[in-house]
Amino acid sequence: MAYESSEIIKIKEYKRPDLRGGIVIDGFPSSSLVTSLVASYLVAHLKMDQVAFIESVHFPPVAFVYGGKPRYPARVYVEEELKLATFLSEFNLPLWLSRAVANMIVEWSLRNGCDMIVSTLSVPKESGEAKIYGIGSTAKAREMLSNAGIEQLNIGVVPGVPGVLLCEGRWNNLDVVVLLAEVTEDTPLFAAAAMLLETLTKLVPRIKIDLEPLYREAKTMQDRLHSLREVAQAAERKPMYA
């Protein structure tokens, strides 16, 4: 089965699991790889199963290879028992594609009966301790943030896919939460990702993850994501051969 958003993005499913009442995690990075790192860790740690891929003529013309197997640059994974789905991409999404991608995520979530979408991102600050804020699209989403003890952002701008998700969530009365890490430029990506993952488990207690491996394997994961992004960016400029 394939879904289309604005005729420029298609999501094609290998299978359709039961996700009614579930939660969808957005893993499309924009300004930072933190979003990918969060999603990648969830997929690996929870041993999530790939159920779909996303294709577009506007995506980098590459195949990412893991364990000798080719993969599309944007994919969907599911942990059916937890009713959890994760969109994951390692390449930097062009800002102008944000609306189409966000609409695709919303459409797919609604079609599958999911109750909530969670997106993450990080923004730089000049100094001070790192801090996590939450933004909710609905009164229910904001109440969930309050009950989880997550401070809410009162004034600010949320760019890219997370920003569009918030607006579309409000329009569709769909619970969307964006977890925003405000960190200094010298904060390691894995540290920001760990903070976001820890906050995610407070928001959704049924997601239980051990963050120790993230700290232990952080450098390897971070280097791999950087490498994949560089390959994808290079492929947009010219073909690459091994």
DSSP 70-132: EE-SEEEEEEGGGTEEEEEE-SPPPGGGHHHHHHHHHHHHHHTT--EEEEEEEEEESSS--EE
In a domain, 210, yes or no: no
Q: Does any domain span residue 218? A: no
Look at residue 219 and tell me if it is in a domain. no
pLDDT tens by residue, 49-64:
999 999 998 888 888 8
Does some domain include residue 234?
no
Q: Is residue 176 situated within a structural domain? A: yes
The range of the structural domain enclosing residue 173 comes to 2-204
Has residue 237 been placed in a domain?
A: no
On whether residue 232 sits in a domain, the answer given is: no
Which CATH number does the domain housing residue 193 bear?
Answer: 3.40.50.10900
Q: What are the pLDDT digits (tens) for 194-234?
A: 999 999 999 999 998 888 777 766 556 556 656 665 656 66
Number of domains in the chain: 1
Inside any domain, residue 146: yes
Query: Is 242 a residue whose pLDDT tops 90?
Result: no
